[in-house]
Structure 1
Amino acid sequence: MTFATTRSRSEENRISPVFWVLLAVLGTSGWAVANGYGNARFGVFLFVVAGWVVSLSLHEYAHARTALHGGDITIGAKGYLTLNPFKYTHALLSVILPVIFIMLGGIGLPGGAVFIERHRIQSRVKHSLISAAGPLVNVVFGAVLLALAGSGWFDNPDVTAVLGGVDQGISPLPAALAFLGFLQVTAAILNLLPVPGLDGYGIVEPWLSYKTRRAVEPFAPYGMLALFVVIWQTQAGAWLIKAASGVMSLFGVDAFYTAVGHDLFMFWK
Structure 2
Amino acid sequence: MDSIIQNIAIYALPVIFAITLHEAAHGYVAKHFGDLTAYTQGRVSLNPIRHIDPLGTIILPVVTLMLGGILFGWAKPVPVNFSALRNPKRDMLWVALAGPGANLFMAFLWGFVIKLGLGLPESNLSDPMILMGEAGIKINVILMVLNLLPLPPLDGGRVAVSLLPHRMADTFAKIEPYGFMILVLLLMTGVLGAVIGPFIGFTIQMVVWFFGFET
Q: TM class, shorter-chain normalised?
A: 0.7 to 0.9
Q: CA 1:232 to 1:58, structure 2 compared with 1: closer, same or farther past 3 Å?
A: same
RMSD: 3.2
Q: Shift of the alpha carbon at 1:118?
A: 1.4
Q: For 1:69, which of 23, 32, 35 is the aligned residue?
A: 32
Partners of 1:102 and 1:243 in 2: CA distance: 20
Q: Which residue of 2 aligns with 1:135?
A: 100
SS of the residue corresponding to residue 81 of structure 1 reads coil
Give percent identity, aligned residues only: 20
* Offset of residue 227 of structure 1: 2.5
| Residue 149 of structure 1 pairs with residue 114 of structure 2 | yes
Deviation at 1:97, TM superposition (A): 6.0
Check if 1:91 corresponds to 2:53.
yes
CA deviation vs aligned residue, 1:12-65 (integer Å, no higher than 9, x gap) = xxxxxxxxxxxxxxxxxxxxxxxxxxx786354224123212221111111101
Offset, 1:235: 5.1
The number of residue pairs the alignment matches comes to 206
- Unmatched segments (≥5 aa) in structure 2: none
Q: Give the aligned partner of residue 119 of structure 1.
A: 83
Name which of 138, 159, 173 aligns with 1:182: 138
Aligned partner of 1:207 in structure 2 is: 163
Q: 1:45 to 1:65 in 2, by over 3 A?
A: same
- Give the distance between the partners of 1:40 and 1:101, measured in 2 at CA: 14
Give the match for residue 241 of structure 1: 197
Which residue pairs with 1:226 in the alignment?
182
Partner residue, 2:23: 60
Flag the structure with larger Rg.
1
**1:146/1:253 contact within 8 Å kept:** no
Structure 1 residue runs without a partner (length 5+) = 1-38, 160-169, 258-269
Structure 2 CA distance for aligned equivalents of residues 213 and 77 of structure 1: 29
One-letter amino acid of the counterpart of residue 220, structure 1: E
Q: TM-score, normalised by structure 2?
A: 0.77
